[in-house]
Amino acid sequence: MCDMCSSKEKDYKIEVEGSILTVCEKCVGFGKAIGRIKQELPEKKKKKMAKAEEKAAEARAKKETESMQLIVPDYASIISRARQRTGLKQEELAKKIAEKESIIHKLESGSMKPDIALARKLEKFLRIKLVETVEIGDSSSSNKSSSPGSLTIGDLIRVR
């Protein structure tokens, strides 16, 4: 629709006092012509819309299931046992993985939870499993009520 006279045609883009307008052939003289608009064939429009719908459906499907990496709840005892099994002191382990001894102490006492990068470093060095991947489905995509063993939002956040 023409921005000036409201005719159904819109063939040109013009500049009028710094504004860009889409106008018909009759109104193109009211401003500085920038260019002609290509008119798409109906088939091309249909194909573009179908592709857009397809991409949107893929995005929705991707959002339905997400994976999240979480640290196992008993990480402190796992780290402590694995360190003792290797015969290392906390100080020695810290040096081997380039961390501070206080970090190792806090991890083993459970007063500090490792981030994913540190957990991966410990996993690799001590040959243990500290990170688990949890698949989280979109609750709006299913009408099931949560089962007693399922993950809740409260399981994912930590209040300080």
Q: Are residues 73 and 34 in the same domain?
A: no
Residue 157 domain flag: no
Give every CB contact of residue 82 below 8 A, 6+ residues apart in sequence. Answer: 122, 126, 127, 128
The pLDDT value recorded for residue 64 is 64
Query: What are phi and psi for residue 145, nearest 5 degrees?
Result: -85, 155
Residue 153 domain flag: no
Query: What are phi and psi for residue 12, nearest 5 degrees?
Result: -130, 155
Q: Are residues 127 and 76 in the same domain?
A: yes
Which of the listed ranges 45-54, 57-66, 122-131 does the model predict with the highest average pLDDT?
Answer: 122-131
Residue 19 domain flag: yes
136 or 80: whose pLDDT is higher?
80
Give every CB contact of residue 109 below 8 A, 6+ residues apart in sequence. Answer: 76
Nearest 10 degrees: Cα torsion 39, 42, 45, 51: -160
Residue 117 domain flag: yes
Q: Which domain holds residue 32?
A: 1-38
Residue 160 domain flag: no
- What are the beta bridge partners of residue 22? 13
Residue 53 domain flag: no
Q: Which of 18, 76, 58, 9 is nearest to 37 (CA)?
A: 9
Q: Are residues 76 and 21 in the same domain?
A: no
Quote the number of domains for the chain.
2
pTM, 2 dp:
0.49
The pLDDT value recorded for residue 140 is 47
CATH code for the domain in which residue 75 is found: 1.10.260.40
The pLDDT value recorded for residue 31 is 87
Are the C-beta atoms of residues 123 and 130 closer than 8 Å to each other? yes
Q: Are residues 32 and 88 in the same domain?
A: no
